[in-house]
Structure 1
């Protein structure tokens, strides 16, 4: 956790709405909202539009609360990492105590309101997701083990399960498959980032795989996880959440993803540094599209199935 000097950081000016909004990690929240919405709409039980809207809103708030609490705890390492130095706390726009209060308040609000608006299974899943991300990943795993992003990736994989629970009041094999898709995607996505941002993690003392085992080992891990992910993603095309549209999307995307992982695997540090980690950066950018397009295809299949046109 941050030391006393960070706790007493001076705020340059009164915090604005934009500063507090930045605490919510809006780019991450976009993925949370989208995958939760797909989980909700892919479920076999229709949901009233107002309940669906309220539920997605509270899931988004819960995801944002996790981001705020993550920034509160990680203020010390954010201050030394080039990628995160402009976040509200290290930039001196918001104090740590303000971020903590904001995150705790939003966490409680989101869980209670989701339980009341939808059902308490969904509310409990959201509460567990916030706890997992903040306590299990941020406070424990992130600074302790190079497997931090492997285990911690579960936190980002829960939203489609929460959306499914909003509609059905429970958990099923379909929602678990959507969880697994995100869970297996997370390590290669973040390890690609770590390959060209290793100095940041070195400076911050975060034991990412690139820091503890080196880039060569990380490249091997990316390839292995990508192959496992491809098998899972394509296999899901033959389940009830899949169909021709999803399967075609999965085959094309995973072929590109495997090629990207193979290109990374074949490279060494001389090759990578010579072109400023071009292949690694390209793989990372593709990984951003990868999950959105897979879940977009699941959503298309769900819509088609409602009209009797999708699925097998």
Structure 2
């Protein structure tokens, strides 16, 4: 039986939980968090109802992108341990249903955002959905080892969308928040790919460890980390962040660099089949440095945005 026919035959009836999984709720939660931070950081009056509508549209748009991604990547997902249990490759949801859901949610989120909140925010949301579903998923992911670098723009844009929803503009500070996520994405995902490279190789996805090798990947992780930390500190120099933010970005950045240096000096990714099971964190000794950086990168990004959010909600002044 071919892969196509296997994917098209539902093994078990779909449940509502399967359709929720199509929307990648864990990724959606990060999108909502960063978009909300951008909205609050804008310091612009927005009616609470319109703010809620904006966040809803951003969340729905993120879910639409995820559904389109799962529809198109079902063949790849079926070959990878980390993704083979997703609803489409597992046969619980038809690919055509995932496609329809993604298209409908995309149109709804963009049009509702434009009519209720503003067309700048709606345009940025539409661009984000298109970039992730078409440019990244359909082109970059299968064609270049720079897929994560370029494609990371889609995941970086929510703060600017939230800012535009509140203020109707997207100034430099909004794009600083975008830049933080953009430069955070390569070391974050490449650290993960160092101990999942056999999955990507099996699926034919040209992730950097597969194309350039583990040593080059470790080098690129460290170089991007050197770029990331000053960018994370920059909002404290523009007035976007205050003393709390400066402390979090500087101390957290130092830890990030130490962990990236350990990855550079390690043998992470050199040994074949470093994964023990389907989990993201249960790895063999050789990959622990990559695992530690991957885990801390999530904490670092969360603390950066949480500190800006806390400062704005508490009315704490910026440093400039």
Query: What is the aligned counterpart of 1:284 among 264, 275, 294?
Result: 294
Per the TM alignment, residue 268 of structure 1 is displaced from its structure 2 partner at its CA by 2.1
Distance (Å, rounded) in 2 between the aligned partners of 1:111 and 1:139: 21
Distance (Å, rounded) in 2 between the aligned partners of 1:107 and 1:139: 17
Number of the residue aligned with 2:225: 226
Number of the residue aligned with 1:310: 317
Per the TM alignment, residue 105 of structure 1 is displaced from its structure 2 partner at its CA by 0.4
Normalization by structure 1: what TM-score?
Answer: 0.95
Per the TM alignment, residue 228 of structure 1 is displaced from its structure 2 partner at its CA by 0.4
Map 1:82-121 to 2 at 5 A: 82-121=81-120
Q: Contact 2:197–2:269 at 8 Å: present in 1 too?
A: no
Number of the residue aligned with 1:74: 73
Q: Contact 1:241–1:302 at 8 Å: present in 2 too?
A: no
Per the TM alignment, residue 288 of structure 1 is displaced from its structure 2 partner at its CA by 1.1
Map 1:1-312 to 2 at 5 A: 4-5=4-5, 9-268=8-267, 275-304=285-314, 307=315, 309-312=316-319
Distance (Å, rounded) in 2 between the aligned partners of 1:133 and 1:212: 22
Distance (Å, rounded) in 2 between the aligned partners of 1:244 and 1:176: 20
Per the TM alignment, residue 269 of structure 1 is displaced from its structure 2 partner at its CA by 5.0
Distance (Å, rounded) in 1 between the aligned partners of 2:240 and 2:29: 22
Per the TM alignment, residue 16 of structure 1 is displaced from its structure 2 partner at its CA by 1.2
Per the TM alignment, residue 85 of structure 1 is displaced from its structure 2 partner at its CA by 0.5
Per the TM alignment, residue 270 of structure 1 is displaced from its structure 2 partner at its CA by 8.8
**Structure 1: gaps spanning 5 or more residues:** none
Per the TM alignment, residue 13 of structure 1 is displaced from its structure 2 partner at its CA by 2.8
CA RMSD, aligned part only? 1.5
Per the TM alignment, residue 290 of structure 1 is displaced from its structure 2 partner at its CA by 1.4
Normalization by structure 2: what TM-score?
Answer: 0.93
Alignment deviations for residues 135-186 of structure 1 (CA, whole Å, 9 cap, x no partner): 1100000000000000000000000000000011121001110000000000
Alignment deviations for residues 234-286 of structure 1 (CA, whole Å, 9 cap, x no partner): 12211121110100000111111000000000012598766151111111111
Q: Contact 1:192–1:281 at 8 Å: present in 2 too?
A: yes
